[in-house]
Structure 1
Amino acid sequence: MRKKPACLSFTLLGLLIASASQAAESDWVEAAVTAVNPQVIEWRHDIHQHPELGNMEVRTAALVAEQLRASGIEVRTGVGKTGVVGVLKGGKPGPVVALRADMDALPVKEMTGLQFASKVQGLRLGKTVPVMHACGHDTHTAMLLGAAKVLAEHREQIAGTVVFLFQPAEEGAADADDFDTSSVAGARAMIRDGALDSPKVEAVFGVHVMAGYPTGHLYYKAGPVLNSDDEFRITVSGRQTHGSAPWTGSDPIVASAQIVNGLQTLVSRRSDLTKGMGVISVGSINGGTASNIIPESVVMTGTIRSNHPDIRAGILEQMPAMVGNIASSYATTAKLQLVPYAPVTVNDPALTQAMVTALEKAAPGKVERLPASLSPSEDFAFYAQKVPGLFVFLGATPEGEDMSKAANNHSPYFTADDATLATGVKAHVQFVLNYASR
């Protein structure tokens, strides 16, 4: 008769110990994040004022490496060209997890009016362009540096090993043509250089700030969460002639117009839209020099997006024949260049579910599940193809503002609220702690 109460007593004791342990963990995380937050904001402002384009992140990488070393973290530089990898071994045995931040900026002229606004210019394919952190990568880098400092200061309480991935060229390489299929940059270059292999990573996490979502709120979704992205360039060649006698030449402008129309049917008539969505957008068309001359050629560029691998694959497979056949029917020829940028970003369902608790600890009462995938693309998808991954979103617009009027990511008016950085730091830390104890 005594065994049953004794068992219950041990169970209650275990629950009390676990509860006390969780409370203690919450206390030190909160205190450590609060302590580091002023420095995280300082890092963010500094990086924002000194943005660098993809594969040009020399100053940013040096700052990252210096701060990681100052925290006693093992550092490898030159990964994926200008990337930095930090390795922190915890005081307890456990898994190897990776946290990823991107460091590059965009060729955008900043119009925010912030005190720490960028006035920097950089080189993109040999041309001088304005440079701005118009997508929040400055916040990503600062938040991960903050998380690294917090985790390093409490390494004896960390189970396992943490790999910090500071990645270049998420937005593409500034030193390579977008349509150079031999060029490897960003996540692919990091993976090629062994970022996930030494030590062997078993799960990877990423956080991305988003304008139009309230500060300090976290958003997640299992399965497809961001679209794939493939870029294309089509050169349509005809035979130049006088505009008054088009029958004496071959008109690449008319052929190009039909190609644009035909491409839309790859989605509307040849994709199984019960599986997901797809979109083909032509963003530029260039041809001709005068109103009365039919030109020799027309060049158009565009993008293909989808949230389902089958739809993406179908478009990429069928596009070359359609473009070629339409061109030939107008007595022209077409050269199609297809450059895959990123597959669909897919959050591992089991990992996502297991980490909801981590998100709730980072942003109590401010965690929401996205009802559908979002339209942008991310080369984080390549990491998530190699190991289970989770990519979440952090609101970056102050709660009192009209979310519908917030300048979106990639706008010259894009801003990210400093007040959201602490939540991002906590999310990174909680991913590490909760993954080890799941």
Structure 2
Amino acid sequence: MGQTQSPWALARGGRRTKRNLRPLSLSGSLATKFFETGIGRSLRHPHYRLYSLTNFASIMGIWQQRVAMGWLAWDLTHSGFWLGMLVTAEAVPLILLVAVAGAVVDRVDRLKLLRVLQITQVALAALLAALTVAGMINIYLLTLLSFCYGLVQSFHLPARMTMAPNLVPKDDLTPAIGLNSALFNISRFFGPMIAGVVIAQFGAGAAFVTAVFGMLAFSIGLQFVELNRHEQTGGKRKGLGSDILEGVTYVLRHTSIGPLLLLIMVSAIFSRSFLELFPGFADEVFDQGAEGLGILFSAVGGGGIVGAFWLANYGKTEGLMKVSLVTLFITAIALILFASTTVFWFALICAAFAGLTMAITANASQVLIQNTVDGAFRGRVLSLYGLTYRAGPSVGALLLGSASTLVGFQWPVILGGAFCLFSIALVIPGYKRLSSELEKTA
């Protein structure tokens, strides 16, 4: 007598055989493998998924706004000095408030702070869009808004960087930071490309308008994110000044975090700053206009996507110090070659390699710091990391941009690459000690 089949089995087309189950089993095993290895490990955590995906929408908007601001500044002035001044205006609050911001982030509810800051960022973006569309913008207002944006970012950046360790366990931190970087570089690939087309067709104002919606998505997403744990120090509160001094002392006395931050600062000033000069390179060196500017940024973003996914799937801290130094070396060579050519397609290849290695260097360094730092000091230490990551390129842009008014855009970038090579040579004698301290897992 045959076995009775359920209605569900009949609806699927008869008896469930091994042949019927194979595709389902295969897809299930692939999904399981994805979430157990590499970048998929970070996506097992639902609040991190929500956070990272809505943050991706915001970064897309930020890249469109950034490209449009650079092009608008160039269109208004045709001056390398003003390109540098625009990003320096953003960097000044980061430099002045870095210690205060880190201490505040370690004292308050980081998630609530980030929600308020993101809403403020949306408001600034909307104001910039309105002024530009209304034809009321000028280089002075643009620079002032850049300063205000930097003021918000002084607190936004360390608050945002503390999220990943509080949304995923420590074992999944490397793929989580790698995923953040991958999404950042995907947005750096598509955001500038979209911005270049929008600017060419409709003007900078339209690019600013589309940027607002991306930032708004992150603001909404943050309302539904919950942290797995809180790292704020318990017990009686000290004064804000004491917290600042305590954080600075922690970094200065730490035998590995301090030197690593110094290396990151040097590389940020003399390597990442070349991105801020892209409007001048696109127009004067390569004669490609706004669309060429978008393609240059997209080349860097495309390389960054590859680098970020590579790091995410690397998935461990062991060997990351060596990875950081090797990729910084490749970045320096790519910059020298980029600035030595006037052939646009070759420059795109160099920019892509620079994007790949800069993504690995920056995020490998962040993983090493996150892996080593005491959680109670995380906000203060990451505010210093944020200073190197954001203010470093701005300072470099002012230096290289000012030099470009005298000798053109190419020689300052070549010398910046050479300085990165010199900084690597200085670190090599202490390489083994730094590796052992920063890569330990226990």
TM over 0.5: no
Q: Considering fraction of residues, name the structure with more helix.
A: 2
Q: Which has the larger radius of gyration?
A: 1
Could you say which structure has the greater relative contact order, defined with CA pairs below 8 angstroms and 6 or more residues apart? 2
TM-score by length of 1: 0.25
TM-score by length of 2: 0.25
Q: Considering fraction of residues, name the structure with more strand.
A: 1
